[in-house]
Amino acid sequence: MAKYKYIQLILMCFIFSKMNGQCLTDFYYQKAIEKNPRIEQQATQFYQSIQHFSNTQRATKIIIPVVFHVIHTNGVENISKAQIEDAIRLLNLAFSNNHPNKGNIRAPFKSIASNCEIEFRLAKIDPNGQCTDGINRIYSPLHLSATDEVKNIAGARWDNSKYLNIWTASFIDHQTPGGQGVAGYSYLPYSIQGSNDPIDGVVILHNCIGTIGTGRADLLGGTLTHEVGHYLGLIHTFNGGCFGSDYCDDTPPVANEFTNGGCPSNGNSCSSDNPDLIDQWENYMDYSSGACQSMFSNDQRDIMRSTLANFSFRANMVSLNNLKATGVELDNQSPIAFFTSNIRTACVGEAVTYYNNACRAITTSVLWDFEGANLNSANKDTVTVNYSKPGKYKVSLNVSNIYGSDLLTAPAYIEIRDRVAQLKPALLQGFEALDWLNTSGWEIWEQGDDAFKVDPTVAYSGSKCLIAPINNMAYKSQLYELVSPPIDLRPLKGLSPKISLMAAYIRQSISSTEKLRLYMSRGCGDVWELLFQKGANSLSYNSSAYQSNFKPKNKSEWQLLSHNLSVYENDSNVRFKIQVESGGTNSVYIDDINISNYYSGIIETEYAFQVQIFPNPANQFLSINYQNESGTTEVWLENMLGQKIVQVIEEQSKCGAIAIDFKQNGTALNGLYILKIRANNQVISKKLIFAN
């Protein structure tokens, strides 16, 4: 493929090409060469060995099994099955020369637009031989700063000689010169060291997957098509500029990365080619707009098919034996039952869609059974039902063909919740009650040592708090999560509702990376919206100090964290999640969570006179002692909405030492209240906990 005679210049331009701001493939290729200079020679040998066949020669279709590893923390980045299936649809249209933009290919390139005869199918069998829908959901905050590390999360990488691995994320962390707005990257095949190489595959933003859900409709799937092109051996068409090469005679040279961003109708940035053709911005390997891209060329087809034939780990992936092992080619045997659903939690009356994902063989009969649903059974691959009562319900699927049948039953598979939460604000949690976790509706996710625990030796108020027990032995990126019960915010309408909490933490060193995040979920589902994140520096009560084995000793080592909820004050069903991510250094302490129109810890004021309250927390009886030097005095009790609920003593003229023994007298008090005392021409407030 002697498109240009300056082979050495081509390679140098490729190695040192400017970071483009969209695709990191060139950058990672450079890094690979730095580690193993032989890769450069392997690349040259590969491209010089490409065999070509004419567009009229019919090739055998090649099938590639695909798995999507969706890295998420239950936010919008946890993209739907439908969105992923849309991405597969667009990939197959692109690689079969049937893209929706095909009609826009200009005359000079219509004859070389190629049907690559490559098809992508979601895997149906996982590495353990179990049925799958080809979507592997991985709960990890690394979706916020994706690098090759996402490939090393436990369970987040399948054998690269059997599957095309695609990792989706919210943000790609790129510490590279000029790397802005990176959408994805892939390693070129000659950078891969064979089977089970942990770097092989595509990392891409979730909004570049398909055109529905979070997918950008304007891209028309072009970003994923572009990255899969790299995975199959293609280089950018602008590689090396006008005197570089992508090893394809039928793709005219392009001056630089963003020359064709606007898809100029007759743009011709280089005259070094013969014949001198206009730029081929239709090509998926350019950086033109996704609305313009619509073709691979014949030479690009030959490179990709040669990649699948000449690299052993790619050849094994597309072999018939592997296609059967991954379930994308079916066999003559009985099927194995397996199903998924679009959601696992729903409101009463909300539609829930179930999918038959049986594997290994074609199913000729499909029979569902839905406990508690409006449809008890159905004989369809995809079924939509709803539920009229809250609860957790069983789902069963029976599949069969002429070779046999299989039944899968999942108890408590779906959770149905009330549309309107039963709890009303204020919702307060100070972790004082012995059985708070069993009676309050709060949940600690995860169990064992790697989970939130109550610490009875320290608190901002009261005697207890919650601790994420992190130390130098803790696993980095371990998540500690506390989830609130559902709450109806509407009683706080117009009162500036907020969620607040007290947190105590200090960095162990400048390299500490603990984080605290606050999420909110609206409605009955488990889609979590990030409200705020505090990194180690901003979470630390003293950003200029460091300490090992931190444990707060006084209130000055706690800080208030809060978020205004006014925009959600009409929501009748919300939940909150407090998430601490370990950096392997110091523990994070949490106390006095408050969902109301008051802030945690701010209710107590600096006193101009001494007040003694005993005990606090209180049960039925409470002793109050203070000094009134002049004027009248009055004592009353308010709830967290500022409503007076008990008049402890009426307004009276009394000076000197005042002692009050308060008894509830049949009033049911439990939780956090504000004791108000008017004396010495001022009103002071004291936080008070009743724990009956």
CB distance 560 to 601 below 8 Å: yes
Q: How far apart are CA 550 and CA 412, in angstroms?
A: 42
Nearest CA to 550 out of 491, 593, 597, 503 is that of 503
Q: Find, among 503, 507, 506, the residue nearest to 517 by Cα.
A: 503
Element containing residue 487 per DSSP (H, E): none
- Residue 303 CB partners (closer than 8 Å, separation 6+): 47, 50, 232, 233, 234, 247, 248
**Residue in 459, 410, 400 with CA at minimum distance from that of residue 432:** 459
Which residues have C-beta within 8 Å of that of residue 253, sequence separation ≥ 6?
237, 238, 240, 241, 242, 243, 244, 245, 269, 270, 272, 273
Strand bridging mode 62-72 / 164-169: parallel
Tell me the residue type at 189. Answer: P
Q: Which tokens is 103 given?
A: 């009609």
In the block, residue with structure tokens 């000689």: 161
Angle at 129 between CA 343 and CA 119, to 5 degrees: 75
Whether the CB-CB separation of 489 and 427 falls below 8 Å is answered with no
User: For residue 477, what are the contacts with CB-CB under 8 A and spacing of at least 6?
Assistant: 140, 141, 142, 581, 582
Distances (CA, A) of 626 to 355, 616, 656, 663: 68, 15, 8, 17
Which of 85, 117, 227, 651 does the annotation list as catalytic?
227
Q: What token pair was written down for 502?
A: 């007290």
C-alpha dihedral (11, 12, 18, 22), degrees to nearest 10: 20
Q: Which long-range contacts (CB under 8 A, 24 or more apart) does 640-647 make?
A: 640/425, 640/426, 640/428, 640/594, 640/596, 640/597, 640/598, 640/672, 640/673, 640/674, 641/425, 641/426, 641/491, 641/492, 641/495, 641/596, 641/597, 642/597, 642/598, 642/674, 645/673
* Nearest CA among 242, 229, 396 for reference residue 297: 229
**Nearest alpha-carbon partner for 69 in 158, 191, 198:** 158
Residue 489 DSSP class: -
227 is catalytic: yes
Burial class (CB in 10 A: 0-12, 13-18, 19+), 479: buried
- The region that residue 602 occupies, defined by phi over 0 for left and psi between -120 and 50 for alpha, beta otherwise, is alpha
Look at the block and give the residue holding tokens 């005392």: 677
Burial tier of 663 (Cβ tally within 10 Å: 0-12, 13-18, 19+): exposed
Q: What is the C-alpha to C-alpha distance for residues 681 and 68, in angstroms, rounded to an integer?
A: 67
Two structure tokens written together for 261: 């961003």
Q: How far apart are CA 202 and CA 231, in angstroms?
A: 7
Catalytic residues: 227
